[in-house]
Structure 1
């Protein structure tokens, strides 16, 4: 029966280390990257899972996510960006924003930002739906993402005067079965003025596929720039693809024995695809409406409103939160009404004793 026994799992431990000379607060020892499970990666950084063992409890605490700078980028802009993100994240306290835990260097001397661990990214869920041909995410799940992310953005825009600056599915984390949705990755956050405009000395970075038209035209960057990208997250959850990249799908292979003329024709076609892609950036991508039924109507209303080309026509995060709260109240009232009607029907159909 030994083959049915659960095997022992070897887990990499982090432990508490006390500085005996200064009796300072405990510091976590971060193992080198090869001993950590990689969760994801970004430009110049990798994200790992840190299992935290407590010697006092002789058990594991909740895991952390550790964002580490690659060795080759240690002294570049990415190192500064990670330090900046740590400062930003440390100042944020919101149920829909990933929690800050610590910042320092690992055993290998590499800068590390330690955060609450998100269970999975929205991007990974979208990719799973695409690979398994499951179709768009359920409308209820999309609305949950909209509600929680909009709540986080309202807090950032109004309370903290910050523009997230890189809203996309990879930076949205899903806890449980869409029980809670959290926003992460604040390395390119932009400080805002009282009017909700980017401060003069702040540069918008973002990711081009999710960037609004004002990013490319050089117009003012405002909170509405985040809202455009917010709308494109909805597009991702329906189309199961990053926005606009479909225009780059030039699948015609070039034969190794191709003539110079064939090469020039192939390059011309590739250049045309590239041109169409760059032309589409900052615009609203067409959504596959044929796959949607009426339960997606609220989703579509938010999508179309947020992806208006004119920033002034896009709703604020606060307006989205208010609208979704109203929609939730309507659904609750309908549910209560249906329940009462069902109870009345059962009473009428009951046989008197």
Structure 2
């Protein structure tokens, strides 16, 4: 009897995940830049045809030359950890693992599935072009796909993502499928779906303050999967407001000021609103971006590593604006913008935003509840449409 196709596919995935085939990664200057941040760069690797067949490109992630020069191993360790996690994650809504290569100097390069762009890049462009909220059908698709990814992550993989934001949501095509990426700071969940920091002092939540849940900001001893759900709610907020959470007033200040040049305004854009979970305000709103992994730039742009390192060291210079209230807003539900008139198509999206950003974790829905409710809602809408057409 012939080997079933499913078994063949599983054997292929197993070979890929075990990295049985050597991967050749050329020097960074020979690759097209997809994104870069503090000590990390992501490139497009166009693979040569094999046996006359065109092969899909990959995204490769590695630490920069300047970071290697500092001998700081933290970021390289995160890449190794991310590779170990991704090897075990096989889900259509999680970015695919392709392999990992160690160079002679011990630096790891992570090869990943290539996606068109990130949700953050799409929202940033809409903001710059004054296009209004992301179309409801696209937000609906994103919610369904990422909720499926989180359900798998929380219940089967037993992991907390730990850094959900729009730039860690990848988009293929015209929202044909959305995928979750960047697992370098993910944390293991115990048998109760929790993380007890007191019992596990070696664990630390390293997310981004702007997207963090109140229990993270308050540094409680025990957190659960609902910390991810709060951050997910803020991604939904981004699709409506087109700015990072808690920055509406700052964005308005930049846009209304005649004294702020374009480069300064860009510091408030999506791609620059990242940083680790520190009290330092500049890190949380600065240009130093670790997780902008797949925010695709111009295809013509081919920046060498030294230039990227120079960008990494830019300092945030928005001290002319009052940021006093920003830190106080961390871990709270940001107000929706009043400028946009939302149609009835957005009702369930806005409702989910409010549910996910409830202050108490027990009041937030689980990822499975989210996709099941949205699936049922879609089925009801379809049924109503069919009945109306009869």
Question: Counterpart of 2:223?
Answer: 221
Q: Distance in 2 between matches of 1:328 and 1:35?
A: 46
Cα drift, residue 43 of structure 1: 2.8
Q: Distance in 2 between matches of 1:198 and 1:73?
A: 31
Question: Counterpart of 2:351?
Answer: 301
Q: Distance in 2 between matches of 1:131 and 1:106?
A: 40
Q: Distance in 1 between matches of 2:143 and 2:371?
A: 8
Preserved contact between residue 210 and residue 232 of structure 1 (Cα < 8 Å): yes
Q: Which residue, 79, 83, 90 being the options, matches 1:93? A: 90
> How do 1:1-353 and structure 2 match up within 5 A?
25-57=20-52, 59-74=53-68, 75-105=72-102, 110-200=107-197, 201=200, 202-219=203-220, 220-248=222-250, 273-289=322-338, 290-339=340-389, 341=390
Pair member with larger Rg: 1
TM-score, normalised relative to structure 2: 0.73
Q: Distance in 1 between matches of 2:107 and 2:51?
A: 28
SS of equivalent to 1:226: helix
Unaligned 5+ residue runs, structure 1?
1-23, 255-268, 342-353
Q: Distance in 1 between matches of 2:142 and 2:219?
A: 30
TM-score, normalised relative to structure 1: 0.81
Q: 1:56 to 1:199 in 2, by over 3 A?
A: farther
SS of equivalent to 1:40: strand
Question: Counterpart of 2:287?
Answer: none
Q: Distance in 2 between matches of 1:305 and 1:160?
A: 24
Cα drift, residue 167 of structure 1: 0.3
The CA deviation string for residues 57-76 of structure 1, in whole angstroms up to 9 with x for no partner, is 2x430111101111232342
Relative contact order: is structure 1 or structure 2 higher (C-alpha 8 Å, sep ≥ 6)?
2
Number of residue pairs the alignment of both structures matches: 302
Point out the more displaced range, 106-115 or 43-52: 106-115
SS of equivalent to 2:223: coil
Preserved contact between residue 247 and residue 276 of structure 1 (Cα < 8 Å): no
Point out the more displaced range, 166-175 or 287-296: 287-296
CA RMSD, 1 decimal:
2.1
Cα drift, residue 55 of structure 1: 4.2
Q: Distance in 2 between matches of 1:271 and 1:52?
A: 47
The CA deviation string for residues 71-100 of structure 1, in whole angstroms up to 9 with x for no partner, is 232342101011000000110010100000
Q: Distance in 2 between matches of 1:63 and 1:106?
A: 21
Preserved contact between residue 102 and residue 113 of structure 1 (Cα < 8 Å): yes
Cα drift, residue 136 of structure 1: 0.3
Q: 1:276 to 1:335 in 2, by over 3 A?
A: same
